[in-house]
Amino acid sequence: MKQYTVTGMSCAACQARVEKAVSAVPGVDSCAVSLLTNSMGVEGSADEKAVIAAVEAAGYGASLKGAAASSAGNRAQADEEALKDHETPVLKKRLLRSLGLLLVLMYLSMGHNMAHFPVPAFLENPVSMAITQMLLALLVMYINRKFFSSGFSSLRHGSPNMDTLVAMGSGAAFAYSMVELYLLSAAQAAGDAERLMHIAHNLYFETAAMIPCLITVGKMLEAMSKGRTTDALKSLMKLAPKTAVLLRDGQELEVDIGEVQSGDIFVVRPGENIPVDGIVLEGSSAVNEAALTGESIPVDKAEGDLLSAATINQSGYLKARATRVGEDTTLSQIIRMVSDAAATKAPIARIADKVSAVFVPAVMGIALVTLVIWLIAGQSFPFAIARAIAVLVISCPCALGLATPVAIMVGNGMGAKNGILFKTAVSQELAGKIDIVALDKTGTITSGEPRVTDLLPAEGVTEEELLSLAAALERKSEHPLAKAVLACAQERGLSLAEAADFRALPGNGLEAELNGARLVGGSGKFLASRLSLPTALRRQAEALAEAGKTPLFFARDDSLLGIIAVADTIKAGRTRPRR
């Protein structure tokens, strides 16, 4: 699927029009336009230039995503920039300026005429008052001119959108008021005071200004909603490292991530993010892969093991060879999958699009019928035109076309934040019909932080003795499992001795000196190579492992102290009984 950025869309009618135009291009198998992300996904063999030309012919702008970026790093920045909320600040400024002028206009039109609020003497003249209202309305309409340019442009192309309703409603009120202004001037020239006062109450300049002002409020709320729904995608993009440290001619050189090529040798120090996918050449470490897998317990990496971009090296120094860079990394593929899902449509969204495609012409027809019926019923033209404008205005908010994609994108974003990725919007809609779910425990139903769950001391050893000696050994370790043991000891209020001659044995465990005795801790395989493990404890360790727990063995000299089990515990919260 090729991704494009589309500009100039303002409602679901625009979205439907772009989809219709692109779908007609030879070679296009399917086209999905997202109003929320201003993006378009196109599948097929169609030429990129033909697709862009079709969008431009429909009255909008289009460009291939990342076309201006020469490197993977620049492409990532371009994608992140495209997701930024540029609309809300602009709409806020428009709204504040419009409201300032509208308040003055409402004071003159409603406050003075209905509540007899005081005005300057030169505005006591009805014609002067009408001209002042006209100028204020013109200023508000100019500030919100995008409604009119977009609305009339789409009408000219034969595909009216929601902005067309705004433009026609506001324009009709303004045009009618201009006619009344000329009649007002004629009545004043004729000295007809009674007709003068009657016409003065038929001005709708405040309506012409109120319509675009109110719709701007709705547009701003829509823009804010769009900005929030893309947060998950932006947070995924922020995971990608911006630089990498390469080994060239025996020297370490920090370069932009876009300069890394497959086959380059890179190094990662403790605490740094792994820049690209690669394979370990030298060193060993514990790597936190929670950003990609949700697995809270770091994975031990040694020579020959695979590394993924955006994961965190927690302990050792690693030298690795890049295998996948740029858009080929695991993280980039996840980002692409989420982005493609945002561009796809759920079945319910397609129904809304079909309705919105005929919605605007239908509303315009209903407004015209409303005008004619009221005139036939014997009502005055001002009364009838006011009702026709009301039909146009009341239909302006694009809730029909926006509510469904907003719901889909919010669900998609919330899922991504909680480690759930939907491949398509269809999958997301079907998820609502699921009765039974099989979940990977880590990060889904668990807290994401390992904790001590079981203490199994050997014969003749107490739980406090096992825990205090294990914590003394783990005290100088940076491994998350060590932190779990220390946290348990602190919760029980145990005092910890200071071990000496501490050594970490990568991939195996730890050892240190305490009161003349040698403390050792690590995996069952490591401890079995040093001493004999009782059969009963071996079976208990196997049972713990089968339950998803990590058994840690501890020994003092040649004597086994016991096992401490650590696991990612279930999140605190409400649980429901099985049905």
What positions carry a catalytic annotation?
440
**Residue entry with tokens 């003497």:** 121
User: Six-digit token pair at 407?
Assistant: 């719901």
Q: How many residues does the chain have?
A: 579
Angle, alpha carbons 223-239-221 (nearest 5°): 10
Q: How far apart are CA 353 and CA 356, in angstroms?
A: 5
| 184 close to 127: Cβ distance less than 8 angstroms | yes
Neighbouring residues of 391: CB distance < 8 A, sequence distance ≥ 6: 363, 366, 367, 370
Phi, then psi, of 522 in degrees rounded to 5: 160, -155
Burial 441-460, CB ≥16 within 10 A → b, else e: ebbeebebebbbbebbbbee
Quick one: 81 exposed, middle or buried, by C-beta within 10 A (0-12, 13-18, 19+)?
exposed
Residues linked to residue 246 through DSSP beta bridges, in sequence order: 253, 266
**Residue entry with tokens 């239908």:** 362
DSSP assignment letter at 273 = B
Neighbouring residues of 154: CB distance < 8 A, sequence distance ≥ 6: 13, 14, 17, 59, 160, 161, 163, 164
Angle, alpha carbons 39-45-48 (nearest 5°): 50
Per DSSP bridges, beta strands 318-324 and 265-268 are: antiparallel
Q: How far apart are CA 69 and CA 79, in angstroms?
A: 10
**Beta strands, E only, 257-398:** 265-268, 277-282, 285-288, 299-301, 306-307, 312-313, 318-324
Query: Cα dist. 207→102, 105, 171 in Å?
Result: 10, 10, 10
Q: How far apart are CA 230 and CA 227, in angstroms?
A: 6
User: Six-digit token pair at 383?
Assistant: 């009364």
| 12 close to 402: Cβ distance less than 8 angstroms | yes
User: Six-digit token pair at 373?
Assistant: 């019926």
| 347 close to 426: Cβ distance less than 8 angstroms | yes
Start-to-end CA span in the chain (Å): 41
